[in-house]
Amino acid sequence: MSEQRAGQAQRVREWLLGAAPAEPRTLAAALGLAEDAPGLQHLRHAEPELLVRIERLHTAAQHAFERRTRVDVCRALERVVRVALREAATAPAREPDYLKDEADGAAQQLEADAALAGGRGLNTGLAFGILLSPVVLILTLAVGRAVPPLFHGTLGCPEQLSLMYSLVCFSGGAMGAVFSVIIRLRDAYQLIQRGPLRSGSPDLPANPVQLARTMRQEGWYRVVVGWFLATSLFLLINGGILTLLTPPATPDDLCGAVPLTPAGHQALIKAWFFWGSVGFLAGLNERWAYGLLRRGNEQQQA
């Protein structure tokens, strides 16, 4: 039972973080040959660039994100090189075109593996940010209610409404950030093309484990950016610094002792949608949010 649980934990870990690092082997060592073996030397002389490419792909395959990709690509490259060595000994005049086809297939598998690593890392980061959002909301609400009594104060009805609206705006910012990433990065393959994540060789994709780690950080970072943008806009709008957007008016009977009228209910719902929309747009479109923040700063200076 313990071994089964350990195996399940390892599979979950590999699904999230990638396969555990393995001891790298050269192509010659995987074939059971010395680096200066006559067959390899002959193949290097006949196809120098192609064999170097295969060796690089073989090395990159040992760092693939999924264990299955590591095994499949390495075995395929080792098998085709063995065939080339046998045929080079019997028919040296034949040009091994199948080596290039196998190398192209291995490169495509490694690119797909890197795309999978980037997409999985990004989704993991976004999921972490989404799960973290309610925790931060609860902590913020608890702090907002616990701090005033420390200074012999209380949260009145208007203050509770402002806190509630700020949390609604905060939540909208997190949802907008997640939606923005999903819309912009529908094709995870484009993550591979980012400069520092790309390997030195144009034939090889980024290091998939590093790519997954970077995308996990990018995912929850985008959610955090949505929080701060939404909260900043809430402070500027509710504080009267940014007058471009006007929040709905609070009904007079909202904080009274009498029951809330239908108009009051409608105004309360409208305020919820207003602050949720402001937060969602702030997280969805950074340029729009930054433009409003810049405009609010200019109005404050004026």
**Structural domain of 99:** 2-113
Please tell me whether residues 285 and 247 are part of one structural domain. Answer: yes
User: Are 136 and 227 in contact, with CB atoms under 8 Å apart?
Assistant: yes
Domain boundary among 113, 143, 173: 113
Same domain for 98 and 156?
no
Q: Which residue has the tokens 């086809």?
A: 101
Whether 120 and 104 map to the same domain: the answer is no
Given a cut of 80, whether residue 285 has pLDDT beyond it is no
Same domain, 253 and 225: yes
Same structural domain, 168 and 63: no
What would you report as the CA-atom Rg of the chain, rounded to the nearest whole angstrom? Answer: 29
Residues 151 and 269 in one domain: yes
What are 191-247's pLDDT values in tens digits? 444 443 444 455 666 688 888 888 888 888 889 989 988 988 998 888 888 878 888
Pair 104, 69 in one domain: yes
**Per-residue pLDDT band at 188 (split at 50, 70, 90):** very low
> Looking at per-residue confidence, does 285 or 57 come out higher?
57
- pLDDT of res. 194: 45
Do 148 and 295 sit in the same domain of this protein? Answer: yes
Residue 185: the pLDDT is 66
- Does an H or E element contain 30, and which? helix 27-31
Co-location of 103 and 134 in the same domain: no
Structural domain total, the chain: 2
Q: Report yes or no: 54 and 98 within 8 Å, Cβ to Cβ.
A: no
For the chain, percent of residues with pLDDT exceeding 70: 81
Which residue, 88, 113, 138, sits at the end of a domain? Answer: 113
Q: How far is CA 265 from the centre of its chain?
A: 40
